[in-house]
Amino acid sequence: MATLRLEGIEKSFSGNKVLNDISIEIEEETFTVILGPAGAGKTTLLKIISGTLKPDKGKIYLGDRDITAVRPRDRRIAMISQEYNLYPNLTAYENIASPLRAEKAPGSEVDKKVKKQADILGISDLLDKKPHELSGGQCQRVALGRALIKDADIYLLDEPLTGLDYKLREGMTHELKEILSAEHLKKVVLLYAAPNYEEAISMSEKTILLINGNILWQGDTIDAYHTPPNIDFAKNFYSPPMNLFDCKLKEKDGELSLYVSDEINLKANLLKKELVENEYVLGLKTYTFHFEQKEEGLMAITFNLTLADVTPAGTVLHLEYKGKPMSGFFHYPKDFKRGPIKLFVRPQDFFIFGKENGKLLMKYRGVQ
């Protein structure tokens, strides 16, 4: 059993705490993504797990074995970083073979494993080339082959696709998932650091949300994507982030409502038993907006459009509502004029969060 367990891991540099009380447990046969922006502490955490960096506090267990003080070479852990770190004077063959050479493996075993790994990665015809003769995607495959050729219990991947351009990164995401789903990797722990939720959704079964050295949430990736567990998750998981509206529970003429403004005013009589506080936060995903009122019951909201940003994945609208930044996303390019813009939403697309504890209470289910 290759269960990885971290207990109370902490790390500081020059008095600045980078990791704070990190405690996680990852079972074998689980593909887990550590999700967080630059500076979140992802690389530091992976280096501590690999043994190339010592924690200031805490323990690391592989199964029942305490490996906190074990040398990196004795941990049965393989790691690939976003910089590739290939040996520039060695061919792709020798770069992939280098971990086996270090272990003084027999030449016949080295040759067999290198060629098998190259075949899996689709780089058999590149084995005689040196890194400067390879593209970014090809270097990424060589670095991946060097990591996967080791007989390890845990594979750590530190943003391996970050250095690639958008089109290549998109293709490699699918290839990498297929490679890491191979039969011989099903009895190991796969821990993958990613800077964006697209990779988390595409790659993982479990997600650990790491922000400013703190774990804000951990659990099932797909479930949390559909039903955000708390406000911190809503702010940091999605890109663009979920739109959040402060609201108050109001009663007028015997009618209860969740009131943001005259435009955003959700009837709440049916939720009276569940809404016991005076203030809440309404959440709305960026892709739930509509341009037209194509069905009954849609709520019209007027925003101020400050910028329309066309990306390869679609169009991001940078909006303001009552002076607060908001976003909208559409899966196709479209021209927009700056200024007032009316968008439509389904009331049932709103999520209701507690104002004080930030936890998700429910998805709105009242009748408008």
pLDDT digits (tens, 9 = 90+) for 165-222: 666 666 667 677 777 776 566 678 889 998 888 778 887 889 999 999 999 999 999 9
* Domain locations along the chain: 4-236, 243-363
Sign of CA dihedral 114, 120, 123, 125: positive
Confidence of residue 115 (pLDDT cuts 50, 70, 90): very high
Query: Among residues of the chain, what percentage have pLDDT more than 70?
Result: 94
Question: Is the pLDDT confidence value at 95 over 90?
Answer: yes
The one-letter code for the residue type at 118 is A
Rounded to whole angstroms, how far apart are CA atoms 114 and 90?
14
What span, in angstroms and rounded, lies between the C-alpha atoms of 216 and 238? 14
**Would the CATH topology of 4-236 be identical to that of 243-363?**
no
Pull the structure tokens for residue 335.
């021209």
Per-residue pLDDT band for 261 (boundaries 50, 70, 90) equals very high
| Per-residue pLDDT at 136 | 82
Per-residue pLDDT reduced to its tens digit, 225-247: 899 999 999 998 888 899 999 99
Instruction: Give whichever of 91-95, 148-152, 250-254 has the largest mean pLDDT.
Output: 91-95
Query: How far apart, in whole angstroms, are the C-alpha atoms of residue 105 and residue 151?
Result: 12
Radius of gyration of the chain (CA): 24
- What are the tokens at 73? 């070479």
Q: Say which DSSP state 204 is in.
A: -
Residue 1 has pLDDT above 60, yes or no: no
- What is the Cα–Cα distance from 275 to 352, expressed in whole angstroms? 10
- β-pairing verdict for 279-284 and 314-321: unpaired
CA distance 123 to 139: 10
297-337 pLDDT per residue, tens: 899 999 999 999 987 778 999 999 999 999 999 988 877 88
The CATH number for 4-236, chosen from 1.10.10.10, 2.40.50.100, 3.40.50.300, 3.30.2270.10, is: 3.40.50.300
pLDDT digits (tens, 9 = 90+) for 12-53: 999 999 999 999 999 887 889 999 988 999 999 999 999 999
Fill in the DSSP letter of residue 120. Answer: H
Domain spanning 243-363, CATH architecture? Beta Barrel (2.40)
3 state DSSP class of 123: coil
The residue behind tokens 């890109």 is 239
Read off the tokens for 144. 């991946």
State the Cα angle at 26 between 153 and 119, rounded to 5°.
40
Matching residue, tokens 């219990």 = 153
Predicted pLDDT at 121 = 83
Give SS3 for 48: helix
Mean pLDDT of 336-356: 95
pLDDT at 368 over 60: no
Pairing of strands 189-194, 154-158: parallel
Mean pLDDT score, 343-365: 95
Burial, 258: exposed, middle or buried (Cβ in 10 Å; 0-12, 13-18, 19+)?
Answer: buried
Q: The tokens of 283 are what?
A: 């959440």
pLDDT digits (tens, 9 = 90+) for 129-173: 999 999 888 888 898 889 888 888 888 989 887 766 666 666 667
Query: Are 314 and 330 spatial neighbours (Cβ–Cβ below 8 Å)?
Result: yes
Question: Would the pLDDT of 73 be above 70?
Answer: yes
- Say if CB 1 and CB 176 are below 8 A apart: no
- In eight-state DSSP terms, residue 269 is G
**Tokens at 117, concatenated:** 């790994």
Question: How far apart, in whole angstroms, are the C-alpha atoms of residue 150 and residue 147?
Answer: 6
Strands across the sheet containing 65-66: 16-26, 4-13, 57-62, 65-66
Q: Which of 119, 69, 67, 68 is CA-nearest to residue 92? A: 119
- Buried-exposed string 113-130: b where 16+ CB fall within 10 A, e elsewhere: bbeebbebbebeebbeeb
Q: What is the pLDDT of residue 168?
A: 64
**In the predicted model, is pLDDT for residue 280 greater than 60?**
yes
Instruction: Supply the pLDDT for residue 342.
Output: 95
